[in-house]
Amino acid sequence: MTLHIDISEENLAGILAKAFRNRSFLAGFVITALVAAVALISFFWTPFDVTRLIIADKTQGPSLTHWFGTDHFGRDILSMIMVGARNSIAVALVAVGIGMGVGVPLGAFAAARGGIVDEAVMRLNDLVFAFPALLSAIMITAIFGPGALNAIIAIGIFNIPVFARVARAGALAIWPREFILAARAAGKGRTLITLEHVLPNIVTLLLVQGTIQFALGILAEAGLSYVGLGTQPPMPSWGRMLFDAQTRMVAAPWMALFPGMAIAVTVLGLNLLGDGIADILDPRSRRQR
Amino acid sequence: MTAYLLKRLAIALATLALASMVVFAVLEIIPGDPARLMLGLNASAEQVELLRNQMGLDAPLAARYLRWAGGLLSLDFGRSYTYSVPVIDLVRERVVVSLPLALIALALSTVIAIPVGLFSASRRGRAGDTIAMGAAQLGVAVPNFWFALMLIYLFAVWLRLVPAGGFPGWSAGVWPALKSLLLPAVALALPQAAILARVTRSALIEVLHEDYIRTARAKGLPYRAVLWRHALRNAMIPVLTILGLQFAFLLAGTIIIENIFYLPGLGRLVFQAITQRDLIVVESVVMLLVAAVIAVNLLVDLSYAVVDPRLRSRQ
């Protein structure tokens, strides 16, 4: 049932060879690397300065100088998308970190203890799942006010039960295995077994879920910024750019087109990457192929 | 079976109770005294004290929680600070927009996704499957609010087929009202349909490997009958699970989509309430949406028993 592999059974070169034959992985990897590169480059160089408003250049269509056109303040949209990439990636990455950091130990602990501890963790999961990310963001914003940090917290909290569930399901499949029995016979405690034997065996599972949550985080950050609860101007963000574009759809459709495509391409890349990793490392899908 | 149902019901109720405590606690943390907020800056300390007493704000925490939760049960959410009307009236006005929107979107998403999933699963690995799943990959990646903007540009600005936003109200007739919900529903439904189609496909592929499918084919049933009667039914559990989860996303999605299309639904209400710091409205709507999510997930749990007879006979 689970996506599980002992890396040791297979050499790394074999996995890499398989990775390069997997179209989904390759496409996802190239797109994701490209987006990451763009975000990194934006630290050193963008075609135009995104903090300078040149009203004379406002709402120009795509041209050779401004490939993606300019916004209502005359800012270069391509440059804003580059800086926005940085912001999106940072928010989604930290949110995944929060989800993994809290969720995985919770899930692994629930699986190791079982019984009432397991039940309590799962019910806590139900509770968090009842609050869609946007709702918890709304509540957090109602208390602390809007901002990128609160968006990270809201998305991160929503990620916790997701990772707890995946880690628990993965760990439950590992616990009945013989090498665990051997470790127990050797006198190792549950915590040590979890750390030394269970976690290494569910890493790929977590990696796949990580890319999915990363993609969802990008979408969620864009949504929150779009409604004004996430990243605040003047920091460029993809969601905020779409908000600015909304009222200018007729006069400047490019203002909406390009930031949306940036989001879609980034999410697509991450999803393809996740699918690819799952394909490569899942012994079952290998058999069916 | 009864034990299963009772356990699910108990869990749903406990989750609801815990969620209400979380929402209540969040409101307790928020700085600012509602009584002072209502009276404005010029109110004297005595006036504020009097109102606090009238509003029951000086009661102990537990008593206030019980009163609030009891109010929720009898649909008494309190009064909006800004509109000075009972919150339930505001909710009643708005829910007739949000609920139909979410339901139409859910129906659309299901109607699109299940046939696409069936199509793809039965042509696994062939050109049709590749194209359909490629489209689904794109659909998953596209943010619904951007998709909504593109739809507005195409159908409202360019082709002028539907209004770009606004809601005439159900009193203007069912068709004009439905027409203004159409684009928002499509915008909500398509990304969800893409996810659902992928899940349906992989669940079906799993099932199609089973022995009973081979048996059904061997006894001479046509492929279509096997696919619809045997395979689809057995693939329903993961599909239903995702449908339940999607309802939560749809509800959250309506919050954003309503703002794009200027629909006077619960989402718009919540945003206005946030900017006006009308917290009683925020907490009521959040509580209502959370209750809806819990209720739908309970329904999904119960429907497992309908779909899967094995669950019914299990003790």
pLDDT tens digit sequence for B267-300: 888 888 877 777 788 888 888 888 888 888 888 8
Give me chain A's average pLDDT, please: 82
The predicted structure's pLDDT at residue B165: 75
Which residue segment(s) compose the domain that A17 sits in?
A: 9-44+64-285
Rounded average pLDDT over A177-205: 84
Q: CB distance from B19 to chain A under 8 Å?
A: yes
Q: Does residue A5 surpass a pLDDT of 70?
A: no
Chain A environment of B23 (Cβ under 8 Å): 139
Which of A5-14, A216-225, A256-265 is least confident?
A5-14
Residues in CB range of A223: below 8 A, 6 or more apart: A134, A230, A239, B143, B145, B256
Residue A1 lies in a domain: no
The predicted structure's pLDDT at residue A50: 76
Which of A70-79, B24-33, B93-102, B193-202 is least confident?
B24-33
> For chain B, how big is the Rg over CA atoms in Å?
24
Going by C-alpha positions, the residue among A31, A223, A130 that lies closest to residue B22 is: A130
Euclidean distance between CA atoms A192 and A103, whole angstroms: 18
Say how many C-beta atoms besides its own lie within 10 A of residue B177's C-beta. Answer: 17
pLDDT tens digit sequence for A92-103: 999 999 999 999
H or E stretch at B33: none
The predicted structure's pLDDT at residue A36: 92
| A→B interface, C-beta within 8 Å | 123, 126-127, 129-135, 138-139, 141-143, 215, 219, 222-223, 226-227, 242, 245-246, 249-250, 253, 256-257, 259-260, 263-265, 267-268, 271-272, 288
Number of compact structural domains in chain A: 1
Say how many C-beta atoms besides its own lie within 10 A of residue B57's C-beta. Answer: 14
The predicted structure's pLDDT at residue A30: 93
Chain A environment of B138 (Cβ under 8 Å): 264, 268
Q: CB distance from B142 to chain A under 8 Å?
A: yes
Predicted TM-score (pTM) of this structure: 0.84
The predicted structure's pLDDT at residue A287: 38
Residue A114 lies in a domain: yes
Name the token pair of B191: 């990304």
**Nearest chain A Cα distance for residue B249, angstroms:** 7
H or E stretch at A233: none
Given the cut 0.90, state whether the ipTM is greater than it.
no
Q: Per this entry, what is the length of chain B? A: 315
Rounded average pLDDT over B151-170: 80
Q: CB distance from B30 to chain A under 8 Å?
A: yes
What does the domain layout of chain B look like in residue ranges?
Answer: 89-313
| Backbone φ and ψ of A268, nearest 5° | -60, -45
Taking only residues 148 to 167 of chain B, the set having a beta carbon closer than 8 angstroms to any beta carbon of chain A reads: 149-150, 152-153, 157
Confidence band for B144, pLDDT divided at 50, 70 and 90: confident
The predicted structure's pLDDT at residue A283: 55
Residue A21 lies in a domain: yes
Q: What is the CATH number of the domain that holds A265?
A: 1.10.3720.10
Residue A261 lies in a domain: yes
Strand ranges (E), B209-256: none
Quickly tell me which residue has 């009945």 as its tokens. Answer: A176
CB contact under 8 A, A135 and B152: no
Which of A82-91, A211-220, B38-47, B172-181 is least confident?
B38-47
* Amino acid letter, residue B296: V
Query: Rounded to the nearest 10 degrees, how much is the dihedral formed by the CA atoms of A148, A149, A155, A161?
Result: 170
Residue A54 lies in a domain: no
The predicted structure's pLDDT at residue A270: 92
Euclidean distance between CA atoms B167 and B262, whole angstroms: 7
Q: Does residue B146 surpass a pLDDT of 80?
A: yes
H or E stretch at A42: helix A23-44
The partner residues of A76 in beta bridges, in order of sequence, read A70
Name the token pair of B274: 């946030």
Going by C-alpha positions, the residue among A19, A18, A17, A27 that lies closest to residue A272 is: A27
Residues in CB range of B312: below 8 A, 6 or more apart: B1, B305
The predicted structure's pLDDT at residue A34: 93
The predicted structure's pLDDT at residue B109: 92
The predicted structure's pLDDT at residue B157: 78
**CATH class given for the domain over B89-313:** mainly alpha
Euclidean distance between CA atoms B283 and B305, whole angstroms: 34
